[in-house]
Structure 1
Amino acid sequence: MIDAARATAFAWVEENRPHWSAWNSHIWHLAETAWREYRSAAWYVARLRAEGFTVEDGSGGMPTAFAASWSNGSGPAVMAYAEYDAVPGNCQAAVPWRQPRAGLSRFAGGHTDPHSALGMGALAGALAAKAAMQRHGITGTIRFMGEPAEKVRGSKPIHAAKGYYEGLDAIISFHPFYMLPLCNTVRWDTHCGPYYAAIYEFLCEEPQTWLQGAASGATGAPIPAAHTAARAPGANDAVVAMYTLSKMMRDHMLAHSGTWTLNETILASGQATADNLAAQMAQIMFAARAPDVAMLKNIYAVLDRNAEAAAAAAHCTVQRHWISKSKPGLANHAMAELVYRNLEHAGPPSFGAEAVSVARALQAELGLEPMDSPFADELSELVTPQEAERRLRRDLPSWQTHYTSDDYTDMTWHAPTARFYVGRAVLKAPPGFAYPEWALNALGGIPATIDPTVKTAARTVSGAILELMTNPDALARAAEEFRRRKAEASDPHPWCDYEPPVDFPWPEYVETARGREWWIPATAADRALERPS
């Protein structure tokens, strides 16, 4: 039955390519960023309902999340999911030259990985499996989740803590390839590691108490009469102090092993147009990726001390708000083998003549000699999970159990999960040359260069769902391994102990008298990059 069902699913993927290609392009052009993916989530909800799914909109208290389900009778419950958040500062048109999307600042959101293809590969796969289940009388349930804000590992820890992954028999996680050797393969032992993100919010709510009496130049007036009067440093100074302290302390937090990282983003600053008043509020977010939670706790112990010191120096108070506490991943070899079998049936992505023409045009735009075979050789190769693991471990210390970051890991503690990667269009580079970010972003939005990735992903997802529905022995092996690994773990419970962080001033698109635009308006510099398509 599996061969006939898989053939039906693959045929669905091919026959519906005009539809899912257009859907993917639509989500790519929306390019909405973390916690503000309103139109993207609404599109998925409407599409799933039209396909017969029951959908809970705003799942887990997150306005841009959803939980969908479709059943064809009793049987296994298998889940796939969509992500659809883009990245601020990566606005790019679907053309082989640098240009923001029409009418937008180049600092607007843009898909980099791209999550647009991640979501569409999973959705097309789920719909193809549904069609095959209906045609061949295969019973079971497909669940499909909408997961916002992956770039800050946002929704999955919350969904996990609120029980949305309970009652599942298996989970399939797909991501477009973003680093070697994880291209056209499945993760084996070394899954993504844990992650913390928190906003430190500095508040200067009593600036009048910075200095007292005549020393402050107080006159009883509502604001200082002269800009030379003494004033509290304020929240902006606190953010600068914490930023500087943490940069300085980074080299002293931990030994440089295990590939841990710490990055920061200044999220908000008050009093932008009042230069003679102390800023009342400013926020900075720190995000850390590490191989284990002990490292994360050590990093945040230092950050907490830095925050208190910065607040004291700038006459502020400080509050820490958790954005994410995301667990490390739990491996499952049985699931990895099953999904890889279906990746073999799907085959690697194949880039046709139109894709080659786009790639060559992009190389010419950058002053390179266009290549006859411009795409990386690895895109046409499949790599077994075991071989990918061997290559990945070559540069990692023997003690390190996890590497890189993604919040699919929170799912791995609730059901047997496989994480697979499909090659996406990346170009060969001459020695010493690096392609700019906009070039890779553009290739993720041009149908000829991104559709092959979506197609392979959809075929793999559909095949894996169908095998899980029809192969009870494989499902049992995955379930037994899951129970064993979880029982051996010292901390199997969700970490999320905070409310969805949706009310912070995250960057977003806004409606103005000028129309819909990024919160940073387009300027003459943005318009100067535009050229006729």
Structure 2
Amino acid sequence: MKNPMPLSNAQSSALAVVDSRQAELSDWCATIFNFAEPAWREYRSAEWYVKRLRAEGFSVEEGSGGMPTAFCAEWSNGAGPVIGMYAEYDAVPGNCQAASTRREPREGLGFQAGGHTDPHSGLGIATLGGLLAAKAAMEKHGIKGGLRYTGEPAEKVRGSKPIHAAKGYYDGLAAMLSFHPFYMLPMCNTVRWDTHCGAAYAMVYRFICDAPEGWGSSDGAPIPQSHSAVRAPGANDALMTMYQSSKALREAMLPHQGGWSVSEAILTAGQATADNLPAGLAEIQYMMRVPTVAMAEQITAVLDRNAAASAAMTGCRWERHWVSKSRPGLANHAMANVVWGALQQVGAPVWDEAAKGVARDIQRNLGMVPMEEPFINALTQLVEPQQAEAILRRDLPPSQLNSTSDDYTDMTWHTPTARFYIARPALKAPETGAYPPWVMNALGGIPATIDPMVQTAAKVLACVAIRLLEDEGARDAAMEEFQTRTGGGIGGTTWQPPLCDYDPPIHFRWPEYINTPRGQDWWIPSAVPDA
């Protein structure tokens, strides 16, 4: 690829802003890391972003798209193109980890509470840093145009972006910038080229046993309506039958390569207060990650049949409620080239001796001999997009166009979009075994180790935003490619419309923090007991 264009004065100003706000970004990242709120329940995190954005001069719509923890912020410096960015801030149940070099939950909680894994805490603050730096440079250099910044809850279940897309929040943008911390090689300090993430469906199957007496006959019971009378097995049995029968999908329908997966999570198992009565309610969520929508539809049909059979066997009725229906991603080489140029200008993250000391302390606490260079070499190297693409394609069938999963893909059908990755801290493999998951989670919360990623990503985002605002030719090339790939843009002959035909799934019993007479706890009890 060509050498990057030299930095403009406005881009240089944006980079200086990121440097000047380094301490703030670090503090903000730690704040969101400690909130660690899971999907659809990111109340404090969303409130924090809304307050911060308003203080920075943005107008903010709270609860955008009917999602209480979503938002849409906008700022304009006059008529002109509008560039989009976004924050994610949801955490993952069962991953509570302090910003510490040993395994320990955050204060007052147990390990089953929420914690940041990717980490979305760093993702969101990096994009906020890039947004604010771009705004400052636009003001200083009189660059016309605007910025739109959406708050995207529930990314772990691909929740908000299909809804925002269907409701038009990405329409009218000149471009969208999508950043994610690196999570697999070779997608580290690079930009996606052709093979973007695939489709994904997620749904909750609900089993209700509201007439257990009608399942069988109680004739012959020694005492009428006694506990020994025939009655329906109930919703718990329906859920377990569904769980067991659907596991066959992994062998019957899914290949062992290509990034296909079907996973499940039990949300609710509503049992009566007496153990000898049938459970009236049980819910299980399924998430499928596949290359195409047709594959998702095929798997859904099998899951529906399994749900119907499970309900019939256990005296229940069943319902399917959508959590997500998202499209596979659409490439845009023009956008990828602009981001790659910015990556070359900014460079890869660098971890200093303080960060290495943190890493060595983790290794020491795991009983390892600390390494002189504990971080993997790839973290400080750039990978050309075409080279990363070639490595990624080695394990994929030629006919497979999309792989792995992330819901930024819905944005790609509404505006030219670039998806890029900046290295997050990751340790070199030990001689035997592997690091426990808490290590990555901790590295994502300790300022010395996560700040280099945040700073680098913020600079790349700011550079790209300013380049697109200043360079009409770059914008036109990206939009022309978008028009070509969609057969005429939104509504074009090869454009895929939003799949979202459901309301935000905010009313389920998603894991969350609760306040009790004992203080704050997790809805799965996780508070540290009194000594």
Query: What is the alpha-carbon distance in structure 2 between the residues aligned to residue 299 and residue 491 of structure 1?
Result: 23
Superposition map of 1:399-418 within 5 A? 399-418=399-418
Superposed CA RMSD:
1.5
Correspondence 1:345 to 2:349: no
Q: Please give the secondary structure, in 2, of the residue aligned with 1:286.
A: strand
Correspondence 1:374 to 2:374: yes
Partner of 2:354: 354
The partner residue of 2:111 within 85, 91, 106 is 106
Partner of 1:211: 216
Query: What is the alpha-carbon distance in structure 2 between the residues aligned to residue 266 and residue 37 of structure 1?
Result: 20
One-letter amino acid of the counterpart of residue 501, structure 2: D
Partner of 1:164: 169
Partner of 1:280: 280
Gaps of 5+ in 1: 529-533
Correspondence 1:128 to 2:147: no
Query: What is the alpha-carbon distance in structure 2 between the residues aligned to residue 159 and residue 243 of structure 1?
Result: 31
Correspondence 1:72 to 2:77: yes
Query: What is the alpha-carbon distance in structure 2 between the residues aligned to residue 432 and residue 182 of structure 1?
Result: 25
One-letter amino acid of the counterpart of residue 427, structure 1: L
Q: Deviations over 1:413-449 (max 9, x none)?
A: 0000000100010000133321100011000000000
| Contact 2:308 2:318 (8 Å CA) reproduced | yes
Correspondence 1:19 to 2:27: no
Query: What is the alpha-carbon distance in structure 1 between the residues aligned to residue 7 and residue 101 of structure 2?
Result: 41
One-letter amino acid of the counterpart of residue 83, structure 1: E
| Contact 1:216 1:231 (8 Å CA) reproduced | no
| Contact 1:356 1:373 (8 Å CA) reproduced | yes
Partner of 2:61: 56
Query: What is the alpha-carbon distance in structure 2 between the residues aligned to residue 215 and residue 147 of structure 1?
Result: 58
Partner of 1:521: 525
Q: Percent identity?
A: 58
Q: In the TM superposition, what is the alpha-carbon distance from 1:517 to its structure 2 partner?
A: 1.6
Q: Deviations over 1:68-91 (max 9, x none)?
A: 000001111000000000000000
Partner of 2:307: 307
| Contact 1:192 1:404 (8 Å CA) reproduced | yes
One-letter amino acid of the counterpart of residue 406, structure 1: D
Partner of 1:468: 468
Q: Please give the secondary structure, in 2, of the residue aligned with 1:191.
A: coil
Partner of 1:505: 509
| Contact 2:201 2:287 (8 Å CA) reproduced | yes
CA spacing shift, 1:434–1:514, aligned 2, 3 Å: same
Q: Please give the secondary structure, in 1, of the residue aligned with 2:375.
A: coil
Partner of 1:230: 230
Partner of 1:261: 261
| Contact 1:253 1:302 (8 Å CA) reproduced | no
| Contact 1:217 1:230 (8 Å CA) reproduced | no
One-letter amino acid of the counterpart of residue 497, structure 2: H
Query: What is the alpha-carbon distance in structure 2 between the residues aligned to residue 187 and residue 55 of structure 1?
Result: 30
Equivalent residue pairs, number: 522
Partner of 1:293: 293
Partner of 1:243: 243
Query: What is the alpha-carbon distance in structure 2 between the residues aligned to residue 144 and residue 49 of structure 1?
Result: 12
Q: Please give the secondary structure, in 1, of the residue aligned with 2:247.
A: helix
Q: In the TM superposition, what is the alpha-carbon distance from 1:4 to its structure 2 partner?
A: 1.1
Q: Deviations over 1:257-310 (max 9, x none)?
A: 533110011110111643111000100111101111221111111111111110
| Contact 1:329 1:409 (8 Å CA) reproduced | yes
| Contact 1:2 1:470 (8 Å CA) reproduced | no
Q: Please give the secondary structure, in 2, of the residue aligned with 1:87.
A: coil
One-letter amino acid of the counterpart of residue 356, structure 1: K
Q: In the TM superposition, what is the alpha-carbon distance from 1:210 to its structure 2 partner?
A: 2.0
CA spacing shift, 1:73–1:378, aligned 2, 3 Å: same
Correspondence 1:188 to 2:193: yes
CA spacing shift, 1:432–1:123, aligned 2, 3 Å: same
One-letter amino acid of the counterpart of residue 97, structure 1: R
One-letter amino acid of the counterpart of residue 511, structure 1: N
Query: What is the alpha-carbon distance in structure 2 between the residues aligned to residue 491 and residue 133 of structure 1?
Result: 33
TM-score normalised to structure 2 length: 0.96
Partner of 2:146: 141
Partner of 2:178: 173
CA spacing shift, 1:218–1:93, aligned 2, 3 Å: same
| Contact 2:485 2:494 (8 Å CA) reproduced | no
Superposition map of 1:443-462 within 5 A? 443-462=443-462
Which stretch of structure 1 is more off in the superposition, 42-51 or 290-299? 290-299
Q: In the TM superposition, what is the alpha-carbon distance from 1:454 to its structure 2 partner?
A: 0.2
CA spacing shift, 1:217–1:306, aligned 2, 3 Å: farther
Partner of 1:531: none
Q: Please give the secondary structure, in 2, of the residue aligned with 1:96.
A: coil
Q: Please give the secondary structure, in 1, of the residue aligned with 2:507.
A: coil
Q: In the TM superposition, what is the alpha-carbon distance from 1:217 to its structure 2 partner?
A: 5.8
CA spacing shift, 1:138–1:490, aligned 2, 3 Å: closer
Partner of 1:389: 389
| Contact 1:354 1:448 (8 Å CA) reproduced | yes
Q: Please give the secondary structure, in 2, of the residue aligned with 1:172.
A: strand
